[in-house]
A = this chain, B = another copy of it.
């Protein structure tokens, strides 16, 4: 079965969706208030605003012949809950987390931090990508394809 053998050489990706709700404010402390308002507009509101963040975590590897899994989706779900949802859900990203005390919580930076959180707990043989929906119309991918 040459065809099947060849096909087995492809990697497969699994994607798990989770979500969390958080408050944030875009602000660069090294800029004047005026420049912050000019660059970040209403996203700079000092009293914060918030989002329902939808998160897709994509893990790529080879299908295990015994289980038929790239990775058990329940294990991936639990890793996301522990290292992402429990840390950021119903939190104020600027005030309640260490990660965004110095780092501006743009969607780009949130995706990068989530990547770093999960990269440390996933096997090196598995590739990782993050897709984060800040709103239905504003989405980021890290790393980009």
Contact = CB atoms under 8 A, between A and B. Distances in A.
How often does this chain occur in the complex, in copies? 6
A31 B65 CA distance: 13
A51 to B, nearest CB: 5
Contact of A10 (B49, B51, B74, B143): B143
B73 A142 contact: no
Nearest to A138: B73
Nearest to A141: B13
Majority SS of interface residues in chain A?
Answer: mixed
A109 B48 CA distance: 20
Top 6 closest A-B pairs, CB basis?
A50-B50, A10-B143, A47-B92, A68-B106, A68-B104, A13-B144
Interface of A: 3-4, 7, 10-19, 21-24, 26, 28, 30-31, 39, 41-43, 45, 47-52, 56, 58, 60, 63, 66-70, 72-74, 89-92, 95-96, 103-109, 111-112, 115-116, 119-120, 127, 135-145
